[in-house]
Chains A and B, each alone.
Chain A
Amino acid sequence: MTTLTTPPEPTTHTSSKRIPTQQGLTGRQLVAQLVPAVRKLDPRHLWRNPVVLIVWLGSVLTTVLAIADPSAFAISIAVWLWLTVVFANLAEAVAEGRGKAQADSLRAARQDSVARLLGTDGVETQVAGTELRPGDRVVVEAGEVVPGDGDVVEGVASVDESAITGESAPVIREAGGDRSAVTGGTTVLSDRIVVEITSAPGHTFLDKMIALVEGASRRKTPNEIALSILLISLTLVFLLAVASLAPMARYAGAPQSTVVLVALLVCLIPTTIGALLSAIGIAGMDRLVRVNVLAMSGRAVEAAGDVSTLLLDKTGTITIGNRQASRFVAMPGVGDDELRDAARLSSLADQTPEGRSIVTLAEEQGGSGGVPQGAEFVEFTAQTRMSGIDLAGGRLVRKGAASAVHRWVGGDVAPELADAVDEISEAGGTPLVVAERSGTGGRVLGVVHLKDVVKDGMRERFDELRRMGIRTVMITGDNPKTAKAIADEAGVDDFLAEATPEDKLALIREEQAGGRMVAMTGDGTNDAPALAAADVGVAMNTGTSAAKEAGNMVDLDSDPTKLIDVVAIGKQLLITRGALTTFSIANDVAKYFAIIPAMFVAAYPGLDALNVMRLGSPESAILSAVIFNALVIVGLIPLALRGVAYRAASAASVLNRNLLVFGVGGVVVPFLGIKLIDLVVSPLLSL
């Protein structure tokens, strides 16, 4: 079974990433975050995390008791409880620290620029970039940095956007259309453009990105809140269980010290997941950043895991952007080689992908040779709708749309030609007619079948999505016949042909009315309403600012295929949360078996039978459980940051696997861990 991006595989288009890929977590990273983790001991920071706050209160209490009545045991418990809080903070600090590093590299791009403000009278004044307001117009020329987000209203320029996207190849930005948006912090490489500013200072795209990766604007997501409620109620149950145990123990003639009761409480409450919960959330957004997708909220990432319908644009997502020649259909009386060579000749100087694909196909079939002497290339124009070559001997070769070429040749349309053209159209392809004309007159040689080429591996990916319970809908401007042919070939579940932005919006609303969650990509201004309506709307960075405002994610690489990765990352986030919750709760079983016999073996010697781990002494048993409880947090930080592996499979089999690993594992691991710690602690305590 194939693995869906865990961790996300760098694909070719993301090879030049802005953010250095940090796969593993080094010990040095942990140590570096110790100081911020200790700083987070401030209870004002901890009130947001009730589980850890309880541990903090327990630490204070045991510290006071250890000072009042010092013993090696009490002091050890107090120290390890403090460490538990520090480790919990460490998880969050490490996750935030990774974001901060990314934010710093972005900040470097946000240099204070001087803007050339264009007055209404056409006079330029120099102002600081931070003083620009939406609606201001500024002039940017080659070598200058765009002072703020905006739309090009005049001119065309090539822009280096590597500061934002990490992509070094410049992009064209021009007035009007869907390629008019420029981002503050990018550099104009050539020409002069006038930009109308669209965002206020401090609220630019770059500012937003910095805030997002830093986690400054992080709020608890709905599912995190729901999980927190579960964790709080579990904490309350354990609080009651431990509080009521005090009088019960007194009755049993085995009164327990407060230190022991606090230790039991801390071991039972779900500290592991409580400590890692926010780190898991931050890491989820961080994983998106690593595939160059920015989520505007954690909620959007969560929604990605729930997506049940994917709307995918045909061009660029399902098919490679351009059509390719797949075969030559020669007319009666024309040799296959003759058509092949003519088609090749007409395309030799044609640099369009279609033209190049014709040359490739011809050469695969044996065509060869260079451009003949004295030949002249005729470029495609919108008027002629043909391109070709004029050879020195007066022979002219053209290829183009059937009607245009036919007009160029003159005469009646051969029925064979009409048949070939219809057949190709019906199969969803584009017929390109090749003809020649010389002194003796013109004739049609044949037809080149250009077809949309479905990207490699798409069918497998859609099968995978189907197994995950996700329906794929292809969106295309093609006619229904063509659309169906491609949809069948690619293996999507459904298609929307001759789609207008309104159709797209209507489809989203329809899916949502049925309770489905919809994800889509878009870049144009007219995509904005659909992007806003979709549960997960990924705007392409090359798109307009309207599109970027409307979506809840931005793909810096402008690669629509990535939607599939986004869904996988969303699922991974939720799985990690559920898996660590299960693990955390399952751990309690072993802790009970360590602590309960230790507490009551004096009163009821028979309870020694529960001491299945054969721990050294009651004190070492309790201390070992506390130490395990603290260390397991550190041990799980890498998993929380990396995420639990997600394979595309049915829900039942995913659950079986995770229950086995984190449920059964969660029961077994602490038995081993506590025993090992006890082997070390027991001799130390008896010193």
Chain B
Amino acid sequence: MGATAAGLLTILALVGVLALVYRPLGDYMAGVLTSTRHSKVETLGYRVIGVDPEGRQSARGYALSVVGFSVVSLVVLFAILVGQSVLPFSRGLPGMPWDMALNTAVSFVTNTNWQSYAGESTLGWTAQMAGLAVQNFVSAAVGIAVAIALVRAFTRRRNDDLGNFWVDLVRINLRILLPLALVSALVLVGLGAVQSFAPDRVVDTVLGGQQTLTFGPVASQEAIKELGTNGGGFFNANSAHPFENPTALSNLIEIFLLLLIPVCLTRTFGTMIGSRKHGYAVLGAMTFLWGAMLTVALVSEVGGHGDSARAAGAAMEGKETQLGTWASTLFAISTTGTSTGAVNSAHDSFTPVGGGAAMLNMMFGEVSPGGVGAGLYGFLIVAVLAVFVAGLMVGRTPEFLGKKIGTTEMTYVALYTLASPALVLIGVGVAIAMPSSADAMGNVGGHGFSEVVYAYTSAANNNGSAFGGITVTSTFFQLTLAAAMLLGRFVPILLVLRLAGSLARQGTVPTTAGTLPTHTVQFAALTVGVIALVAGLTFFPTLSLGPIAEALS
């Protein structure tokens, strides 16, 4: 079978399996998040943490809980990373330097999983399991919880009860993430991913050198890494490492896992608001963006630029030979589209257009289909923006799902839209102006510039993937990227919750023939247009000095 046929079949299989689980998982999640029953384990848990599971939270209460929980997570993770030398099972590794620890703690609490360290040589098993893996679960749950709070707001009438953050957090972990992660981890182990507490082993390589093999709880970490759109690898090589991602099938499963929840949450959304068509419209728009970026990247990667690439049949630099161009590109677009940030290839080595597509995919604001929860609320924010301008054009003051988009709502939406681009532009502007940055870049000219742009785009959009090439261990990069991650996560979350509160307190406007329909192909296309226009207008100058300049040279 040729590479093209295999590649197309891979994509087909991925889409097919996602379509199969779309309804059952989406509806199951809706059930979990609307159920009024608590399991015995959960009830016990609530008693331990001192939470009344029947207590209702307004937007303010919900936001305070999210922030409080995240601050505690941040402090605990920072402490674990700095002080891992005193923890058991640390493989004798020292604590992280403070700036790296802060960057890493922020990175995992914000679901970004930007890694300025090499996992195998920096972190022991306790830090991996009690620190990072825990955050892989709970930070993903926070994202889903916030999205669900926003969805609930659309179903409320003059009632700002957005649910209970603690109940959502516990249920998402216990009833959704844990079971899925368990099954996925077992499947990955079955395919050859490592799950072992054996000591390091030094082996002689075929070429006569020596290599140290590190073991650990890899498969379990891998499952939640993809499932929670986290992306932080056990190994520095991430999903390009054979212990994390041993075969072509495991590669496909990992791509499936990172798309699974973001895709199915659109069903959850449709089910919860009582209009499945709206869920399909959101899914359609997200799929279109993903498909469009994938097509652009594939054409460029497979078509191959440059003489050496043509000779090899494709642009193979930085790609695993056992995975090939198709699987690498599919992974790259899915990981940047979901704010996962796991990588199975070096994006730095992609063709300018392929690397630019990955970058643009993040610049869209992580909505193709976006991170767990973050993709859904990000998309709904853009939908509100689209409704605002388009709603005026049908001669009504704008409304979305029965809620009027007035001054208050527009303020939150505008600030949300502003947040990530501002962080990227300020970050890149300041970094590129620093004389020291030139040394950190792995390349000069447009490509070196792309490395810096990619780093801040990845951090501010909670992606966490790296372009590679650039060295980001200086205190300047550690702290500015940490700031970008922290603000890029929590400013949008707080704005989403404020918006949710304001929508929930409103009454509902009935739908008439004069109402702009928002479950149609027309509206999905319009929203895609707004996403492309906003990202394009914001980043065209930046892209033109990076990937576009490279591609046209």
A residues 440-469 touching B (CB-CB < 8 Å): 466-469
Contact of A237 among B402, B520, B538, B544 (CB under 8 A): B538
A107 at the interface (CB under 8 A from B): no
User: With A233-B417, A240-B426, A244-B428 in contact, is A654–B512 under 8 Å at CB?
Assistant: no
Which residues of B are found within 8 Å of A603, using beta-carbon distances?
Answer: 549
Which residues of B are found within 8 Å of A578, using beta-carbon distances?
Answer: 389-394
- Say yes or no: B428 contacts A248, CB within 8 Å: yes
Which residues of B are found within 8 Å of A605, using beta-carbon distances?
Answer: 553
Which residues of B are found within 8 Å of A574, using beta-carbon distances?
Answer: 392, 395-397
- Say yes or no: B410 contacts A652, CB within 8 Å: no
Which residues of B are found within 8 Å of A656, using beta-carbon distances?
Answer: 522
Number of residues on chain B facing chain A (CB within 8 A): 63
User: With A248-B428, A470-B514, A655-B522 in contact, is A604–B446 under 8 Å at CB?
Assistant: yes
Instruction: For the complex formed, measure the closest distance between the CB of A604 and the CB atoms of chain B, giving whole angstroms.
Output: 4
Of the 9-residue stretches B71-79, B96-104, B196-204, B502-510, which lies at the interface with chain A? B502-510
Interface string of A651-664 (1 = CB under 8 A from B): 11011101100110
- Say yes or no: B410 contacts A650, CB within 8 Å: no
Of the 9-residue stretches A218-226, A346-354, A363-371, which lies at the interface with chain B? A218-226
B residues 488-508 touching A (CB-CB < 8 Å): 507-508
A250 at the interface (CB under 8 A from B): yes
Which residues of B are found within 8 Å of A341, using beta-carbon distances?
Answer: none
Interchain CA distance A165-B389 in the complex, whole Å = 37
B425 at the interface (CB under 8 A from A): yes
Instruction: For the complex formed, measure the closest distance between the CB of B82 and the CB atoms of chain A, giving whole angstroms.
Output: 33
Which residues of A are found within 8 Å of B429, using beta-carbon distances?
Answer: 240, 243-248
B residues 262-314 touching A (CB-CB < 8 Å): none
User: With A241-B542, A658-B393 in contact, is A226–B549 under 8 Å at CB?
Assistant: no
User: With A222-B406, A302-B397, A515-B402 in contact, is A229–B411 under 8 Å at CB?
Assistant: yes
A residues 584-624 touching B (CB-CB < 8 Å): 585-586, 588-589, 592, 596, 600, 603-607, 609-610
Interchain CA distance A592-B537 in the complex, whole Å = 8
- Say yes or no: B393 contacts A579, CB within 8 Å: yes
A516 at the interface (CB under 8 A from B): yes
B32 at the interface (CB under 8 A from A): no
A552 at the interface (CB under 8 A from B): no
User: Which of A248, A471, A606 has its CB near the most chain B CB atoms (within 10 A)?
Assistant: A248
Which residues of B are found within 8 Å of A247, using beta-carbon distances?
Answer: 429-430, 432-433
User: With A592-B537, A600-B545 in contact, is A515–B433 under 8 Å at CB?
Assistant: no
Which residues of A are found within 8 Å of B538, using beta-carbon distances?
Answer: 237, 241
Interchain CA distance A252-B542 in the complex, whole Å = 11
B residues 401-438 touching A (CB-CB < 8 Å): 402, 405-407, 409-411, 414-415, 417-418, 421-422, 425-426, 428-430, 432-433
User: With A237-B421, A244-B425 in contact, is A306–B541 under 8 Å at CB?
Assistant: no
Instruction: For the complex formed, measure the closest distance between the CB of B530 and the CB atoms of chain A, giving whole angstroms.
Output: 9
Interchain CA distance A571-B409 in the complex, whole Å = 21
B449 at the interface (CB under 8 A from A): yes
User: Which of A305, A466, A570, A605 has its CB near the most chain B CB atoms (within 10 A)?
Assistant: A305
B382 at the interface (CB under 8 A from A): no
Interface string of B514-553 (1 = CB under 8 A from A): 1111001010001001000100111111101100110111
User: With A652-B520, A654-B393, A655-B516 in contact, is A268–B544 under 8 Å at CB?
Assistant: no
- Say yes or no: B449 contacts A469, CB within 8 Å: no
Which residues of B are found within 8 Å of A236, using beta-carbon distances?
Answer: 418, 422
Instruction: For the complex formed, measure the closest distance between the CB of A49 and the CB atoms of chain B, giving whole angstroms.
Output: 17
- Say yes or no: A469 contacts B414, CB within 8 Å: no
A582 at the interface (CB under 8 A from B): yes
Which residues of B are found within 8 Å of A585, using beta-carbon distances?
Answer: 389, 533, 537
Instruction: For the complex formed, measure the closest distance between the CB of B411 and the CB atoms of chain A, giving whole angstroms.
Output: 5
Which residues of A are found within 8 Å of B426, using beta-carbon distances?
Answer: 240, 244
Contact of B432 among A251, A570, A581 (CB under 8 A): A251
Interchain CA distance A603-B538 in the complex, whole Å = 21
Instruction: For the complex formed, measure the closest distance between the CB of A643 and the CB atoms of chain B, giving whole angstroms.
Output: 11
- Say yes or no: A596 contacts B537, CB within 8 Å: no
Contact of B509 among A230, A241, A515, A588 (CB under 8 A): A515
Which residues of B are found within 8 Å of A470, using beta-carbon distances?
Answer: 512, 514
Which residues of A are found within 8 Å of B516, using beta-carbon distances?
Answer: 651-652, 655
Instruction: For the complex formed, measure the closest distance between the CB of B422 and the CB atoms of chain A, giving whole angstroms.
Output: 5
Contact of A241 among B425, B446, B553 (CB under 8 A): B425
- Say yes or no: B449 contacts A251, CB within 8 Å: yes
B22 at the interface (CB under 8 A from A): no
B48 at the interface (CB under 8 A from A): no
A572 at the interface (CB under 8 A from B): yes
B331 at the interface (CB under 8 A from A): no
Contact of B397 among A243, A305, A468, A654 (CB under 8 A): A305
Instruction: For the complex formed, measure the closest distance between the CB of A612 and the CB atoms of chain B, giving whole angstroms.
Output: 12
Closest to A514 in B: B510
Interchain CA distance A268-B544 in the complex, whole Å = 16
- Say yes or no: B392 contacts A659, CB within 8 Å: no
Instruction: For the complex formed, measure the closest distance between the CB of A301 and the CB atoms of chain B, giving whole angstroms.
Output: 11
Which residues of A are found within 8 Å of B520, using beta-carbon distances?
Answer: 652
Instruction: For the complex formed, measure the closest distance between the CB of A603 and the CB atoms of chain B, giving whole angstroms.
Output: 8
Which residues of B are found within 8 Å of A252, using beta-carbon distances?
Answer: 445-446, 449, 545, 549
Which residues of B are found within 8 Å of A570, using beta-carbon distances?
Answer: 395
- Say yes or no: A575 contacts B395, CB within 8 Å: yes
- Say yes or no: B449 contacts A515, CB within 8 Å: no
Which residues of B are found within 8 Å of A340, using beta-carbon distances?
Answer: none
- Say yes or no: A581 contacts B389, CB within 8 Å: yes
- Say yes or no: A606 contacts B553, CB within 8 Å: yes
User: With A571-B395, A574-B396, A585-B537 in contact, is A600–B549 under 8 Å at CB?
Assistant: yes
Interchain CA distance A596-B433 in the complex, whole Å = 20
- Say yes or no: A652 contacts B522, CB within 8 Å: yes
- Say yes or no: A651 contacts B407, CB within 8 Å: no
A484 at the interface (CB under 8 A from B): no
Instruction: For the complex formed, measure the closest distance between the CB of A426 and the CB atoms of chain B, giving whole angstroms.
Output: 34
User: With A244-B425, A469-B512, A470-B514 in contact, is A607–B411 under 8 Å at CB?
Assistant: no
B513 at the interface (CB under 8 A from A): yes
Closest to A230 in B: B414
- Say yes or no: A229 contacts B410, CB within 8 Å: yes
- Say yes or no: B407 contacts A468, CB within 8 Å: no
Which residues of A are found within 8 Å of B551, using beta-carbon distances?
Answer: 606
Instruction: For the complex formed, measure the closest distance between the CB of A471 and the CB atoms of chain B, giving whole angstroms.
Output: 8
Which residues of B are found within 8 Å of A233, using beta-carbon distances?
Answer: 414-415, 417-418
User: With A250-B433, A468-B514, A654-B395 in contact, is A596–B407 under 8 Å at CB?
Assistant: no
User: With A585-B533, A652-B522 in contact, is A226–B407 under 8 Å at CB?
Assistant: yes
User: With A308-B510, A470-B514, A574-B397 in contact, is A606–B552 under 8 Å at CB?
Assistant: yes
Interface string of A192-231 (1 = CB under 8 A from B): 0000000000000000000000000000001101110110
B379 at the interface (CB under 8 A from A): no
- Say yes or no: A651 contacts B540, CB within 8 Å: no
Interchain CA distance A120-B395 in the complex, whole Å = 55
A100 at the interface (CB under 8 A from B): no
User: With A233-B417, A251-B449 in contact, is A659–B541 under 8 Å at CB?
Assistant: no
Closest 10 CB pairs of A and B: A469-B514, A578-B392, A571-B395, A469-B512, A244-B429, A606-B552, A233-B414, A469-B513, A247-B433, A578-B393
A–B Cβ pairs within 8 angstroms, 19 of them: A237-B421, A240-B421, A241-B539, A241-B542, A242-B541, A244-B429, A245-B541, A247-B432, A268-B537, A308-B510, A468-B513, A579-B392, A581-B392, A605-B553, A606-B552, A652-B516, A654-B395, A655-B522, A658-B393
Q: Known A-B contacts: A232-B414, A470-B512, A574-B392. Give 11 more (CB < 8 A).
A: A229-B414, A240-B422, A241-B542, A248-B541, A250-B433, A305-B397, A572-B395, A588-B537, A610-B548, A646-B395, A651-B396
